[in-house]
C-alpha cells in the first residue's frame, strides 16, 4: 500500500487530519519517566497508544533521535514499531544534498527505516529531490513556505520567475510527474497557503505551526484543503506531547489530539458544503 492510499484510508477511518509529531525531548519527559532505561521508548509507546485512533499520520523528527547518540537509532526504530501498520509515517529530516548523497538519504529513510514519507529541502534542485521521487509508493514533502519566522529570509525573495515559495510550489507540481510529492507550508502563513493551494491543487500539504506556533486550525482548513479532506495533514508536536508533565501525560495527549481533530473537522464541514453548492 502506497503512502497516499494509506493516508486516505487513515483520514477516513479515524475522521482525522491530525498528524502528531513524535519529537521526544528527554528534558521535557514526565518526572516519573526521567532516568529510566527506556524512558523515551515508554513515553513514545504510551503516547502512540493513546492517540492512534485519532490521527491520520505520525511524523518523527530525526534530530530528536540523533541527539540521543547511538541509542537514538534504536529508539527511532522502536517508535516506528509501536505505530500501527495502517497509519503512515513521515521522517522529518529535511534532506537536501547532491544526487549521490540524496540517494543514500533516500535509502536510509525508505529501505532501512521503512517510513512512508520524508521531508526534503529542494533548494539544490531536481537531482537532490529525484532519488526520493523514484520511490513511487512513498511521498516526498518539499519545503515551500515554512512556519518559522526566518522563512522570510529566503522563501519570500523575488526571483526572475516569481517569489521563491511560488517557484518551489510550481516545481513540485512538475516533479510530481516523476513520483509522489507534497509541500510543507506553515499554518502561520494563511494567506499564502491559499495562493500555494491554487498553484498546487492536487498535492498533499504537510502543515506545521498550529497551536504552539500560533497557527489557526480554521484558517488552515479554509485556505489549505485540496479536492478532498485528505489534502492536508496538520501537524502538532509540543502542544500534544507535552500537554501534561505528569503521570496523566498520555491521557492529556489524547485530549489535546481530540481537541485539534474536532476543531479541524468543524472547519471542514462548511468548506465541503460550499464546494458542493459550487
Catalytic residues: 94
CA 116 to chain centre: 11
DSSP classification of residue 226: -
Helix, strand or coil for residue 219? helix
How many Cα atoms occupy the beta-carbon half-sphere of 142 within 13 Å?
32
How many Cα atoms occupy the beta-carbon half-sphere of 242 within 13 Å?
13
Phi and psi for 267 in degrees, rounded to 5? -75, -30
Spatial separation of the C-alpha atoms in residues 38 and 164, rounded to whole Å? 44
Contact 232, 211 (CB under 8 A): no
Q: How many Å is the maximal CA-CA distance in the chain? A: 57
Spatial separation of the C-alpha atoms in residues 4 and 128, rounded to whole Å? 22
Length of the chain measured in residues? 278
Closest CA to 128 of 155, 161, 101, 110: 101
Spatial separation of the C-alpha atoms in residues 221 and 210, rounded to whole Å? 11
Q: Are strands 117-120 and 89-95 parallel, antiparallel or unpaired?
A: parallel
Spatial separation of the C-alpha atoms in residues 265 and 271, rounded to whole Å? 10
Contact 21, 247 (CB under 8 A): no
Amino acid at each position: 500500500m502506497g503512502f497516499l492510499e494509506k493516508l486516505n484510508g487513515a483520514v477516513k477511518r479515524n475522521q482525522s487530519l491530525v498528524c502528531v509529531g513524535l519529537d521526544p525531548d528527554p528534558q521535557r519527559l514526565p518526572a516519573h519517566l526521567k532516568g529510566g532505561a527506556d524512558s523515551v521508548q515508554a513515553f513514545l509507546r504510551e503516547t502512540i497508544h493513546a492517540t492512534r485512533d485519532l490521527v491520520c499520520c505520525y511524523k518523527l523528527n530525526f534530530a530528536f533521535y540523533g541527539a540521543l547518540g547511538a541509542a537514538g537509532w534504536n529508539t527511532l526504530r522502536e517508535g516506528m514499531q509501536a505505530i500501527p501498520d495502517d497509519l503512515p509515517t513521515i521522517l522529518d529530516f529535511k534532506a537536501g544534498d547532491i544526487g549521490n548523497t540524496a540517494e543514500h538519504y533516500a535509502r536510509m529513510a525508505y529501505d532501512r527505516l521503512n517510513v512512508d514519507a520524508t521531508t526534503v529541502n529542494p533548494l539544490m534542485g531536481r537531482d537532490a529531490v529525484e532519488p526520493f521521487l523514484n520511490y513511487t509508493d512513498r511521498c516526498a514533502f518539499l519545503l515551500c513556505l515554512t512556519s518559522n519566522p526566518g522563512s522570510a529570509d529566503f522563501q519570500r525573495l523575488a526571483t526572475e520567475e516569481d517569489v521563491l515559495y511560488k517557484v518551489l510550489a510550481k516545481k513540485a507540481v512538475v516533479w510530481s510527474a516523476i513520483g509522489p510529492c507534497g509541500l510543507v507550508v506553515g499554518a502561520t502563513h494563511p494567506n499564502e497557503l491559499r495562493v500555494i493551494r491554487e498553484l498546487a491543487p492536487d498535492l498533499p500539504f504537510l502543515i506545521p505551526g498550529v497551536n504552539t506556533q500560533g497557527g489557526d486550525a480554521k484558517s488552515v482548513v479554509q485556505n489549505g484543503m485540496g479536492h478532498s479532506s485528505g489534502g492536508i495533514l496538520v501537524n502538532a508536536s509540543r502542544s500534544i506531547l507535552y500537554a501534561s508533565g505528569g503521570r496523566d501525560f498520555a491521557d492529556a495527549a489524547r485530549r489535546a489530539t481530540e481537541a485539534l481533530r474536532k476543531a479541524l473537522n468543524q472547519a471542514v464541514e462548511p468548506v465541503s458544503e460550499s464546494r458542493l453548492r459550487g
